[in-house]
């Protein structure tokens, strides 16, 4: 065996997986079982007391899900990960470890529409207060910091326009404030951007999108970078203080650089309950094996479609960071040199009506609310994903009435362009 460290594509196929020790099965089996037999009473007690690692019940952990967790942790360069039922569940579980009622977190204004909704409304009922900042103005993050700030949340490649966030600059703000930086890396996937290399402390994904990649399974994952010191000033009691749930152990003291992943599992997932089905974990693992190949094709196609649209007379503007003329191109070259992703927006000279007409005339593109599928997708954010925002907030978050969002699939790019051409011809 050579002592070479495996590359990204090798990890995408192999990390976390071994032939099944009992059957020799080469693909990771679906352990479709709720619970696991203990060796004896002492073993059971040590599992429940967190003195030993092992399987108890699928709401806390499952061997199929464990392979997925190890694989994504390896791809992101984290110390450990926790898979949950959806991207949104992952966001709840993360913030539950960090915020007490009355606390605040700062979030970039350019986010997945569902996250804007979740942060604004659902989290308010938990007493968690979101403070918005502008990812294009780093000082707006500095100004938003207060003694109650417990975290900063951004997207690496941001919805809906595919803009690129300056992760390092925002991580400097987070360090100064003494709070962890959480990066939603869904649109980039670790193939294009590894936020931990740029100062992220926690990475979160909707596995539903590019990692699963086939539009067939929901899932979410939390990756612990192992970089944050949770013991400072009693600010994060879930991690630093004795836990009554586990005979008074302190998670940071006991689990060190993967304490956050443990907290998410034993305090978050165990008690809130959004467990990922092992079947979905299997589907997502299968998807991840081809992530590098798919992302290359997604990016190549997206660039070709963006170039086509930029030259079309019916198109007012195209926001794709992979175009040299784009305002995010400099950041794209720095953070995503392999490609600027496959989700972006463009606006039509004909405004709202032209957007609605385009969506109805496209044939190969599916009109639906998703991204990161092998299939090409289209949506009009102003009337769907971002419809809950008022007009000013729509424009600020990149979802004005004339804006159409595309998620470019892995079909032949000539076919995608032909479909857009006939739909734009009117
Ligand atoms: C889809 C998505 C989410 C939410 O994930 P679900 O799996 O649908 O819960 C969060 N962030 C981004 C960027 C997304 O695209």
Query: Quick check: CB of 111 below 6 Å from ligand 1?
Result: no
Would you state the pLDDT for residue 207?
A: 98
- Kindly report, residue by residue over 407-421, the tens digit of the pLDDT: 999 999 999 999 999
Query: Quick check: CB of 163 below 6 Å from ligand 1?
Result: no
CA-closest candidate to residue 346, choices 301, 406, 419, 387: 406
Classify residue 413 by its DSSP letter: H
Contacts of 107 (CB under 8 A, 6+ apart): 115, 119, 130, 131, 132, 133, 152, 153, 154
Least confident piece of the model among 27-36, 152-161, 293-302, 387-396: 387-396
Q: Is the pLDDT of residue 193 over 70?
A: yes
**Mean pLDDT for the stretch of residues 316-332:** 97
**8-287 adopts what CATH topology?**
3.40.640
Give the residue whose CA is nearest to atom 6 of ligand 1: 87
Question: What share of the chain has pLDDT > 70, as a percent?
Answer: 100
CATH 3.90.1150.10 fits 291-425, yes or no: yes
Give the residue whose CA is nearest to atom 4 of ligand 1: 87
CA-closest candidate to residue 74, choices 10, 28, 20: 10
Per DSSP, the chain holds a count of helices (H) and strands (E) of 18, 14
Give the residue whose CA is nearest to atom 1 of ligand 1: 206
Find the angle CA(41)-CA(271)-CA(251) to the nearest 5 degrees.
Answer: 75
Q: How far apart are the first and last CA of the chain?
A: 61
Q: What gap in Å lies between CA 231 and CA 185, rounded to an integer? A: 26
- Identify the three-state secondary structure at position 87: helix
Report residue 122: phi and psi, to 5°: -60, -45
Would you state the pLDDT for residue 2?
A: 80
Which atom in ligand 1 lies closest to the alpha carbon of residue 372?
15
Query: Quick check: CB of 371 below 6 Å from ligand 1?
Result: yes
Report residue 405: phi and psi, to 5°: -105, 135
Q: What is the pTM of this model?
A: 0.97
- Mutate which of 160, 186, 210, 287 for ligand 1? The one with the most ligand atoms within 8 Å of its CB, which is 186
Which atom in ligand 1 lies closest to the alpha carbon of residue 91?
10
Q: Is the pLDDT of residue 353 over 70?
A: yes
Helix H or strand E encompassing 189: helix 189-192
202-206/366-367 β-pairing: unpaired
Would you state the pLDDT for residue 1?
A: 64
Would you state the pLDDT for residue 71?
A: 98
Would you state the pLDDT for residue 367?
A: 93
- Kindly report, residue by residue over 257-308, the tens digit of the pLDDT: 999 999 999 999 999 999 999 999 999 999 999 999 999 999 999 999 999 9
- Kindly report, residue by residue over 235-265, the tens digit of the pLDDT: 999 999 999 989 899 999 999 999 999 999 9
Least confident piece of the model among 57-71, 193-207, 384-398: 384-398
Q: What gap in Å lies between CA 41 and CA 63, rounded to an integer? A: 21
- Mutate which of 95, 112, 379 for ligand 1? The one with the most ligand atoms within 8 Å of its CB, which is 112
**Can you give the residue ranges of every domain in the chain?**
8-287, 291-425
């Amino acid at each position: 065996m050579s002592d070479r460290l495996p590359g990204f594509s090798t990890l995408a196929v192999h990390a976390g997986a071994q032939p099944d020790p009992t059957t020799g099965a080469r693909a990771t089996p679906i352990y479709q079982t709720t619970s696991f037999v203990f060796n004896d009473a002492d073993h059971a007690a040590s599992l429940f007391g967190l003195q030993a690692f092992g399987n108890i019940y699928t709401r806390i952990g499952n061997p199929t899900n464990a392979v997925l967790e190890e694989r994504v942790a390896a791809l992101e360069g984290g110390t450990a990960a926790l898979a949950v039922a959806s991207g949104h569940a992952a966001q709840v579980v993360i913030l539950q470890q960090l915020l007490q009622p009355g606390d605040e977190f700062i979030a970039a204004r350019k986010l997945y529409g569902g996250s804007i909704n979740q942060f604004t409304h659902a989290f308010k009922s938990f007493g968690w207060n979101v403070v918005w900042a502008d990812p294009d103005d780093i000082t707006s993050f500095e100004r938003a910091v207060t003694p109650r700030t417990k975290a900063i949340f951004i997207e690496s490649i941001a919805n809906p326009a595919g803009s690129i966030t300056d992760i390092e600059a925002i991580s400097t703000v987070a360090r100064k404030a003494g709070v962890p930086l959480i990066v939603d890396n869904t649109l980039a996937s670790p193939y294009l951007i590894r936020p931990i290399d740029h100062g992220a402390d926690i990475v979160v994904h909707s596995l539903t999108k590019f990692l699963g990649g086939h539009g067939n399974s929901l899932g979410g994952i939390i990756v612990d970078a192992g970089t944050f010191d949770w013991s400072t000033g009693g600010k994060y009691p879930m991690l630093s203080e004795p836990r009554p749930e586990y005979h008074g152990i302190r998670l940071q003291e006991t689990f060190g650089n993967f304490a956050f992943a443990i907290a998410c599992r034993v305090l978050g997932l165990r008690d809130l309950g959004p467990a990922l089905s092992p079947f979905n974990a299997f589907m997502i693992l299968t998807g991840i094996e081809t992530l590098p190949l798919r992302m290359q094709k997604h990016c190549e196609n997206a660039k070709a479609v963006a170039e086509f649209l930029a030259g079309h007379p019916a198109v007012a503007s195209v926001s794709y960071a992979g175009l040299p003329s784009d305002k995010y191109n400099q950041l794209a070259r720095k953070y995503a040199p392999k490609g600027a992703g496959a989700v972006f927006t463009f606006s039509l000279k004909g405004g709202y009506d032209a957007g609605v007409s385009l969506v109805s005339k496209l044939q190969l593109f599916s009109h639906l609310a998703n991204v990161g599928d092998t299939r090409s997708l289209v949506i009009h954010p102003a009337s769907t994903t971002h419809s809950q925002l008022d007009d000013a907030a729509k424009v600020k978050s990149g979802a004005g009435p004339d804006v159409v969002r595309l998620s470019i699939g892995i079909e032949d790019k000539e076919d995608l362009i032909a479909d857009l051409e006939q739909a734009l011809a009117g």
